[in-house]
């Protein structure tokens, strides 16, 4: 139930968190305490602790560095200080499972350990006739390190017209396991084999080797993310070293934070580099994969191993899992199904042997598991079924609302309370990302996440305030301090930037949104069936999708989600829906996937049992829309081409039967879906004017309907009516100041409410429709001060700038006061000679006279034009707290008076322009108040 006091002053659990980069244990307990207290006072509800690099201080000798690593006594002492400070404040600390990323542990320091992540390499040789010789070696393998022979196979070169394999196309039926046939001597690494005919054949040898990828923080190898033994080493180290002290274990458990894992940044091999690696034909691997594949898929992968090698797919490269492999068989549909089986096996091993084990361990210690489960070629939603708090990110998903929905279906169908986002990492925006700007402004990023189901923000990020650095880190130690990522990626949101002075108002705004976005359960218009292997998300659409443009909210659902117990048809709002007690999807769409450049469309794969479920759904009255052919075929190869074809034919028959049902529509392409939905009387929960830029989300809690409505345009305001469902009275919940305003809207007999809204570009609104009486509310909200307001242009400004400048040491900032008479012209600081290359806090003052005859003063609005970045206002000496930083229209009538009035506007900037002299790669950014500033009354 909505609580006005909680909305006004949200509890810490609703507040945003901060990613906090720490320099190993080279910290002071007093400084840890100071920074946690600063974060709490600035409005944050918690921090995510990351052991970044161990950055030694000048008073520590090199031979002592080992004392300051992850899990050391020194580290544990620092964590004890952090927890002892945070717990009384109700400030929750989350902890990465190991230092930095990808996951590593001090329990495994040998990169040849089988518990490290592996790559599978292949060597090949073309032969005609009998072969007696050495097993082919792999060019991609590191010859100086141990490797293990996994399999030796052969296949005939395909002599037909197909040229599917990028290097060669092979005959599917000829594929043979030569080790199983007894043709391989493992000790001498030789083959003795005669092909059954005199055609051209290819021999393949598959070699496994640990990938050599290291965690830079502690120089430890990255662990195998598919191995339970690897996870046991991680949790065992926690039990022994981090939780070994009973008092410290008590603090961790009392804190009740999260164990956190970042995105899975694994490379099958490091020979091509890490990020932007040279694409190599090496596959991700794990020692038990062939055994687990047989148990899970029911056939042997070995003869078909040549088809899993898509160059670059397993190296964090931007590759498509549907591309052809280097060596593929002549039937593309069979190749893709074999790879489906391989990738699904990886997915299930990751889920069962890694994620589930971590979650169960964390839960035993009163922690939850928060995990970014993407980055591998896996089926994303399947792994999420074992995560307490799924997390997405603005960087990897390119600020795409469509991309965020890849995980929202799992969040909603599993009835998880939170869907988290790592928000704010933008390359090249260190010290220049703003809160409110239109170019990667943090609120722009966050609003897009909120509109897609996200309801917890973790800001990227803040560095610990080091006071010294030695060794090669000394060159990085420059004003305004040691920035562990901020000089490359945005942002340093801590106290070292002027905009930090306005953090509290922004944090309160985020917290109020997150409070409302966790009320009840999300109710989503559409469930869109999707089965896809997601590596790095190259085909995400950033522009509004067809469904968003038509006003629909939607989630992506996969076979894993449709196999949940909740995935059944029930009734909600008087109509059949899927998952009635949860998301209450009004229809299921079997859609095509469209590449972001429009170059191709692809129908998803569908298991037969899911087709049966669709038939049951349709019989029970759920509207269904099939796009194109509906499905490319069954998901699995099934170990036999003929079995696969028979199941494909059975699937086609089921889909044909589905098309004949009265509540099912079949359209040729995505563009026809919206019209089909109208004919099925499936309307969006939030109906907006045609072609509006609004994106909306609904949550429902025991008769209360909450709506988040976002104007995704960065150019135009929206003003008009939106129609929402619900009975009772409509209220606007102002997330900026915590006020609750009744709206001039009445519930119609059919349970719909027409609500007037005005939203500036990039602005959002929270609306509640409830049958309950919320009691006394604030005064009636006016869209404008009057139909024909008087307009007073405010000129003749003075400006006092507290300019932030370097001190005598890198972590010290000095304040230089600059006073200016601006006269009638407000200008960007970059256009004012005295403020060139300056950053800081600017206080603008002006006065004006209002006559006693004015009758419209109570309705007066101060309309502030362009500024960067955030602002505060005083009217006649009265501070106006928590004003709207996006719309910048502030109701000030109650504080005005006849005679002379004084307006003060305080503007905080980023530190970017003050760093121009220190960093020649930077460019000046807009700073200060540009205006115009007008009084409307």
714 occurs within a structural domain: yes
Q: Is the pLDDT of residue 539 over 80?
A: no
- Give how many domains the chain has, as a whole number: 5
414 occurs within a structural domain: yes
Per the structure, the complete domain to which residue 151 belongs is given by 118-213+280-345
Same domain, 403 and 460: yes
Q: Is the pLDDT of residue 77 over 60?
A: yes
Q: At 8, which CATH number? A: 3.20.20
* Mean pLDDT within 378-407: 95
Phi, psi of 378 (to 5 degrees): -130, 170
Element (H, E) at 650: helix 641-659
Same domain, 812 and 755: no
Same domain, 580 and 562: yes
What are the beta bridge partners of residue 705?
700, 769
Q: At 872, which CATH number? A: 2.60.120.260
252 occurs within a structural domain: no
Same domain, 389 and 500: yes
229 occurs within a structural domain: no
188 occurs within a structural domain: yes
Nearest alpha-carbon partner for 560 in 510, 613, 631, 632: 613
Q: Is the pLDDT of residue 779 over 90?
A: no
Same domain, 883 and 811: yes
Q: Is the pLDDT of residue 299 over 60?
A: yes
268 occurs within a structural domain: no
Same domain, 511 and 531: no
What are the beta bridge partners of residue 522?
699
Decide which of 934 and 691 is more confident.
Answer: 934
Position 318 confidence tier, pLDDT thresholds 50, 70, 90: low
Q: Is the pLDDT of residue 184 over 70?
A: yes
Q: Is the pLDDT of residue 537 over 60?
A: no
Q: At 713, which CATH number? A: 2.60.40.1180
Residue 321's pLDDT is 82
652 occurs within a structural domain: yes
Residue 488's pLDDT is 82
The distance from CA 268 to its chain's CA centroid, rounded to whole angstroms, is 23
Residue 854's pLDDT is 67
Residue 413's pLDDT is 98
* Percentage, residues of the chain above pLDDT 70: 96
- For residue range 429-461, list pLDDT tens digits in order: 999 999 999 999 999 999 999 999 999 999 999
Residue 580's pLDDT is 98
- For residue range 604-615, list pLDDT tens digits in order: 999 999 999 999
* Mean pLDDT within 17-40: 98
Same domain, 290 and 160: yes
Same domain, 932 and 812: yes
Position 427 confidence tier, pLDDT thresholds 50, 70, 90: very high
Q: How far apart are CA 827 and CA 249, in angstroms?
A: 56
Residue 76's pLDDT is 98
Q: Is the pLDDT of residue 593 over 80?
A: no
Same domain, 611 and 471: no
Burial 49-63 (b: 16+ CB within 10 A, else e): bbbbbbbbbeebeee
* Mean pLDDT within 69-92: 98
- For residue range 666-686, list pLDDT tens digits in order: 999 888 999 999 999 999 999
* Mean pLDDT within 67-79: 97
* 907 touches 871 (CB < 8 A): yes
- For residue range 99-136, list pLDDT tens digits in order: 998 999 999 999 999 999 999 999 999 999 999 999 99
Pull the structure tokens for residue 260.
């956190």
Same domain, 176 and 320: yes
Classify residue 45 as exposed, middle or buried by CB count within 10 Å of its CB (0-12, 13-18, 19+): buried
Compute the C-alpha angle 134/325/651, nearest 5°. 125
Residue 422's pLDDT is 98
Q: What is the mean pLDDT of the chain?
A: 94
Decide which of 839 and 688 is more confident.
Answer: 839
906 occurs within a structural domain: yes
Same domain, 912 and 823: yes
Position 224 confidence tier, pLDDT thresholds 50, 70, 90: very high
Among residues 345, 364, 395, which one ends one of the domains? 345
Same domain, 409 and 460: yes
Position 777 confidence tier, pLDDT thresholds 50, 70, 90: low
Pull the structure tokens for residue 395.
């960087």
Residue 317's pLDDT is 66
Position 598 confidence tier, pLDDT thresholds 50, 70, 90: low
Pull the structure tokens for residue 452.
């897609």
Decide which of 536 and 901 is more confident.
Answer: 901
Q: How far apart are CA 75 and CA 243, in angstroms?
A: 12
């Amino acid at each position: 139930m909505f609580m006005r006091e909680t909305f006004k002053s949200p509890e810490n659990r609703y507040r945003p968190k901060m990613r906090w980069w720490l320099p190993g244990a080279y910290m002071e307990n007093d400084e840890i305490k100071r920074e946690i207290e600063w974060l709490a006072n600035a409005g944050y509800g918690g921090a995510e602790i990351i052991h970044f690099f161990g950055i030694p201080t000048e008073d520590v000798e090199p031979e002592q560095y080992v004392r300051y690593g992850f899990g050391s006594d020194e580290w544990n002492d620092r964590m004890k200080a952090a927890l002892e400070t945070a717990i009384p404040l109700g400030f929750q600390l989350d902890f990465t499972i190991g230092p930095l990323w990808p996951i590593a542990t001090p329990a495994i320091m040998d990169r040849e350990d089988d518990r490290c992540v592996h790559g599978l390499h292949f060597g090949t040789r073309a032969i005609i006739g009998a072969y007696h010789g050495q097993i082919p070696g792999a060019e991609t393998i590191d010859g100086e390190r141990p490797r293990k022979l996994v399999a030796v196979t052969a296949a005939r070169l395909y002599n037909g017209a197909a040229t599917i394999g990028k290097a060669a196309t092979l005959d599917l039926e000829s594929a043979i396991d030569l080790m199983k046939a007894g043709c391989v001597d493992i000790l001498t690494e030789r083959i003795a084999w005669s092909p059954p005919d005199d055609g051209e054949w290819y021999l393949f040898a598959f070699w496994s080797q640990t990938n050599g990828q290291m965690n830079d923080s502690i120089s430890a190898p990255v662990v195998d993310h598919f191995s339970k033994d690897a996870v046991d080493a991680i949790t065992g180290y926690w039990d022994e070293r981090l939780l070994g002290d009973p008092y410290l274990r008590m603090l961790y458990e009392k804190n009740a934070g999260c164990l956190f894992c970042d995105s899975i940044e694994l490379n099958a091999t490091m020979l091509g580099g890490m990020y932007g690696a040279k694409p190599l034909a090496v596959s991700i691997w794990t020692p038990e994969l062939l055994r687990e594949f047989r148990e899970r898929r029911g056939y042997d992968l070995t003869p078909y191993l040549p088809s899993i090698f898509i160059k670059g797919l397993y190296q964090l490269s931007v590759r498509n899992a549907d591309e052809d492999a280097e060596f593929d068989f002549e039937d593309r549909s069979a190749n893709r199904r074999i790879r489906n089986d391989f990738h699904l096996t990886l997915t299930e091993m990751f889920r069962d042997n890694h994620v589930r084990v971590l979650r169960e361990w964390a839960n035993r210690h009163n922690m939850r598991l928060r995990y970014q489960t993407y980055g591998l070629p896996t089926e994303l939603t399947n792994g999420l079924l074992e995560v307490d708090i799924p997390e997405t990110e603005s960087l990897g998903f390119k600020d795409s609302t469509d991309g965020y929905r890849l995980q929202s279906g799992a969040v909603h169908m599993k009835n998880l309370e939170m869907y988290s986002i790592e928000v704010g990492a933008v390359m090249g925006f260190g010290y220049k990302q703003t809160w409110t700007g239109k170019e990667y402004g943090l609120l722009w990023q966050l609003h897009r996440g909120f509109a897609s189901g996200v309801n917890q923000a973790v800001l990227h990020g803040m560095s610990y305030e080091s006071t010294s650095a030695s060794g090669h880190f000394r060159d990085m130690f420059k004003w305004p301090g040691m920035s562990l990522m901020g000089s490359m990626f945005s942002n340093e949101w801590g106290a070292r930037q002027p905009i930090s002075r306005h953090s509290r108002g922004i944090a309160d705004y985020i917290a109020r949104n997150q409070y409302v976005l966790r009320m009840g359960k999300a109710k989503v218009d559409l469930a869109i069936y999707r089965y896809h292997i997601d590596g790095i998300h190259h085909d995400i659409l950033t522009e509004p999708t067809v469904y968003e443009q038509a006003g629909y909210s939607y989630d992506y659902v996969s076979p894993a989600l449709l196999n949940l117990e909740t995935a059944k048809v029930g009734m909600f709002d008087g109509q059949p829906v899927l998952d009635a007690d949860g998301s209450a999807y009004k229809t299921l769409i079997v859609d095509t996937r469209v590449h972001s450049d429009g170059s191709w469309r692809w129908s998803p794969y569908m298991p037969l049992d899911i087709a049966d479920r669709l038939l049951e759904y349709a019989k029970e009255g759920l509207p269904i829309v099939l796009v194109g052919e509906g499905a490319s075929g069954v998901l699995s190869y099934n170990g036999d081409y003929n079995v696969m074809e028979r199941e494909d034919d059975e699937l086609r028959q089921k889909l044909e039967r589905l098309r004949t049902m009265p509540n099912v529509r079949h359209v040729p392409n995505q563009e026809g879906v919206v019209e089909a939905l109208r004919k099925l009387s499936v309307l969006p929960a939030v109906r907006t004017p045609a072609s509006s830029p609004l994106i909306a989300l609904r949550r429902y809690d025991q008769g209360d309907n909450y709506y988040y409505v976002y104007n995704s345009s960065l150019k135009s305001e929206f003003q008009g009516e939106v129609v929402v469902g619900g009975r009772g009275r409509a209220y606007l919940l102002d997330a900026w100041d915590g006020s609750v305003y009744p709206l001039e809207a009445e519930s119609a007999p059919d349970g719909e409410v027409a609500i007037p809204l005005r939203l500036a570009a990039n602005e959002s609104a929270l609306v509640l429709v409830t049958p309950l009486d919320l009691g006394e509310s604030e005064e009636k909200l006016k869209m404008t001060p009057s139909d024909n307001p008087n307009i007073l242009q405010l000129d003749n400004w003075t400006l006092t700038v507290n300019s932030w400048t370097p001190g005598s040491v890198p972590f010290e900032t000095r304040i230089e006061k600059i006073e200016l008479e601006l006269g009638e012209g407000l200008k960007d600081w970059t256009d004012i000679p005295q403020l060139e290359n300056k950053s800081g806090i600017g206080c603008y003052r002006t006065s004006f006279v209002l006559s006693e005859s004015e009758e419209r003063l109570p309705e007066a609005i101060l309309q502030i034009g362009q500024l960067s970045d955030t602002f505060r206002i005083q009217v006649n000496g009265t501070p106006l707290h928590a004003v709207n930083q996006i719309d910048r229209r502030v109701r000030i009538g109650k504080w005005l008076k006849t005679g002379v009035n004084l307006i003060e506007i305080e503007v905080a900037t980023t530190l970017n322009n003050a760093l121009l002299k220190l960093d020649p790669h930077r460019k000046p950014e807009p700073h200060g108040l540009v205006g115009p500033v007008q009084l409307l009354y």
